[in-house]
A and B are shown apart, each in its own frame.
Chain A
Amino acid sequence: MANIIEVKNFTKQFGEFKAVDNISFEVEEGSIFAFLGPNGAGKSTTINTLCTIIDKTDGTLTINGNEVSKEKGKVRRDIGIVFQDSTLDNKLTVEENLKFHCEFYNVPKEDIQNRISFVLNLVDLEAWRKAPINSLSGGMKRRVEIARGLVHYPKVLFLDEPTTGLDPQTRANIWEYIYKLQKERNITIFLTTHYMDEAEICDKVAIMDHGKIVAFDTPNNLKKEHTGLVTKIGVSKVYDFVEYLKMNHIKYSQEETMFTLYSNNLKKIIDVTSNFKDIITDLETTKGTLNDVFLAITGKEIRA
């Protein structure tokens, strides 16, 4: 598939400080792409540059074949943006916010009503069409923003931390909308998030730190490469078990009767479980999460 976003040797400097340092990446059309990184890693700077809010210092950035800093008008027409903080007009109603957005983006007059219905149905807000933004909850406002970002049918939807500060239920719902959307309209979705479980469902993930991209792959490949097999075992007799682990050189950590074993050797793990099958009370094996990948790469706990 063709690349809808292409970034080559992009650098952004604020005075002496390099917020983004010579990064390159591509995003395929119709995919979900996640940008991860600790606060201050340069994610928002990259998004803001792609969204034509700030200008690059160096490099080339194209969206749908248009150079971002040269053809701002064309780029702006092709993208929809949901920012971290609300950018709705609180004094207007849901419908008015969407309607003015259509006017700003030159949506054909006769299409406006249909499109508003379509996007409001997508985020389950048709019933709130006439409600003033003031009267909505935080999650509903975010849904209005997503609907608004879509109503001009963009090719790429940028979501800058779309679910930060929302409760788990609302987060799950919003992901459902994003998924539905990507399927129904084949929109490319470019998002940043602090929640690793959200990044798991993306097609490609880029991890950024100190202005550089430190990892770029599918979530599964990243996990394969940066984390191993993690086995949690609960036992009723601790002493013999510890002796055995030490003898066989298996790395472990212990919390009372719960052990976590770090070994990629599947055979060794199976031996452990068969040797101690009578005293094992609990068993769980996992592949390591993106969170582990993230920590392995950046060495920092991510802040929500």
Chain B
Amino acid sequence: MRGMTAILKRNLINFARNKTQLIFSIVMPLFMLFVFSFVMKPTTADISQPINYLISGIIIMSVFQSSLSNSTNILEDISMGFMKEIIVSPIERWKISIGQVLSSTIIAVTQGLLIIIIALFMGLKLDAPQFIQMIAVMGLVGITFSSMGLFLATVAKKSTTFQVMITAFTLPLTFLSGAYIPTTIMPKILRPLVYINPLTYTTSIFRYIALKMNDLSTAELIKEGVSFDIHGFIVGPFTGILIIIIMGLIFFSLCVYKFNKADFSDVKVFNPER
């Protein structure tokens, strides 16, 4: 337990000390917020609260992107040599992965919170239960995609490879999720991709909470882009939670498994004589 919390604490300290990274991780979503709210105005005519609609999408996207890319720090640790210090210590590997995933989740959720605070000034309205539900969804999204990120990091092994992988995942997933561009205006040909994208559902449940849509009918939910009519099969917003949890479990076990087996010895600092 102590080893795990120590890893968690240490990651958070390192993140908090890196002020530039912190600032830029908030600048990017804000930039998206401004650009898309202007560009998308005419296309979101069907949607009743276009600004809030975008804000909620952007908040959950920044949580997603942050948690996915936070595992860069583990690759930095490998090249800095610190990873060696950790893996020769008596802490079990699975505890190392949990510490890593939790710290990444906390960082991602904190970033989401900062954007929520800024969004409150831009016209986002929230009450206490909504806020709590949003934090819960952000936490789930954070755990799921931090696990995925750690999994990818152990596959990539180099931070340059990892960056390329993250970009390759992030771009299509975010643009086909309805976070920035409403799924309702997407061409029919892209729909199947939207439906198989897990982020579509994380976005929809988050939006459902943020925009307080609990008294809307199914037809209205479909029109707002938070429920989906896939050839007569209705996927409601709560299916989203189920999908995140299932994905989270899969990726979490995958990353623990992978991290347990990962042989970091072919990475530069381990340097076994051959």
Which residues of chain A have a CB within 8 Å of any CB of chain B? 14, 17, 19, 39-45, 48, 51-54, 73, 76-77, 79, 81, 83-92, 96, 100-101, 103-106, 148
Other contacts beyond A87-B85, A104-B89: 4, CB < 8 A: A43-B273, A53-B87, A84-B271, A92-B14
Contact A19 B265 (CB under 8 A): no
Contact A54 B272 (CB under 8 A): yes
With A83-B81, A83-B84 already in contact, the answer to whether A19 and B2 are too (CB < 8 A) is no
Q: What residues on A are CB-neighbors of B17 within 8 Å?
A: 91
CB of B257 within 8 A of chain A?
Answer: no
Q: What residues on A are CB-neighbors of B6 within 8 Å?
A: 100, 103-104
The 7 A-B residue pairs with the shortest CB-CB distance, nearest first, are A103-B6, A104-B89, A87-B81, A87-B85, A76-B90, A87-B84, A89-B82
Contact B273 A19 (CB under 8 A): yes
Contact A40 B91 (CB under 8 A): no
Contact A87 B269 (CB under 8 A): yes
Q: Which residue of A lies closest to B84 (CB)?
A: A87
Distance of A96 Cα from B10 Cα, bound (Å): 9
Which residues of chain B have a CB within 8 Å of any CB of chain A? 2-3, 5-6, 9-10, 13-14, 17-18, 77, 80-92, 265, 269-274
Contact B272 A104 (CB under 8 A): no
| Residue in A44, A83, A89 whose CB lies within 8 Å of B273 | A44
Contact A14 B85 (CB under 8 A): no
Distance of A81 Cα from B86 Cα, bound (Å): 11
Q: What residues on B are CB-neighbors of A91 within 8 Å?
A: 14, 17-18
Distance of A148 Cα from B81 Cα, bound (Å): 14
Residue contacts A-B, CB under 8 angstroms, 21 given: A14-B272, A14-B274, A39-B273, A44-B273, A45-B273, A48-B272, A53-B87, A54-B265, A76-B90, A87-B80, A88-B85, A89-B14, A89-B82, A90-B80, A91-B14, A91-B17, A91-B18, A96-B13, A104-B6, A105-B90, A106-B2
Q: What residues on A are CB-neighbors of B80 within 8 Å?
A: 86-87, 89-90
Contact A19 B90 (CB under 8 A): no
Distance of A216 Cα from B89 Cα, bound (Å): 30
Q: What residues on B are CB-neighbors of A86 within 8 Å?
A: 80-81
Q: Which residue of B lies closest to A81 (CB)?
A: B88
Q: What residues on A are CB-neighbors of B81 within 8 Å?
A: 83, 85-88
Q: How far is the CB of A175 from chain B (nearest CB, A)?
A: 23
Contact B90 A73 (CB under 8 A): yes
Q: Which residue of A lies closest to B263 (CB)?
A: A54
Contact A77 B90 (CB under 8 A): yes
Contact A53 B265 (CB under 8 A): yes
Q: What residues on A are CB-neighbors of B77 within 8 Å?
A: 89
Q: What residues on B are CB-neighbors of A48 within 8 Å?
A: 265, 270, 272
Distance of A114 Cα from B91 Cα, bound (Å): 23
Distance of A296 Cα from B153 Cα, bound (Å): 48
Q: What residues on B are CB-neighbors of A73 within 8 Å?
A: 90, 92
With A43-B273, A54-B272, A87-B269 already in contact, the answer to whether A100 and B10 are too (CB < 8 A) is yes
Q: Which residue of A lies closest to B89 (CB)?
A: A104
Q: What residues on B are CB-neighbors of A104 within 8 Å?
A: 3, 6, 85-86, 89-91
Distance of A73 Cα from B91 Cα, bound (Å): 8
With A48-B265, A83-B84 already in contact, the answer to whether A105 and B89 are too (CB < 8 A) is yes
Contact A41 B90 (CB under 8 A): no
Contact A44 B272 (CB under 8 A): yes
Q: How far is the CB of A38 from chain B (nearest CB, A)?
A: 10
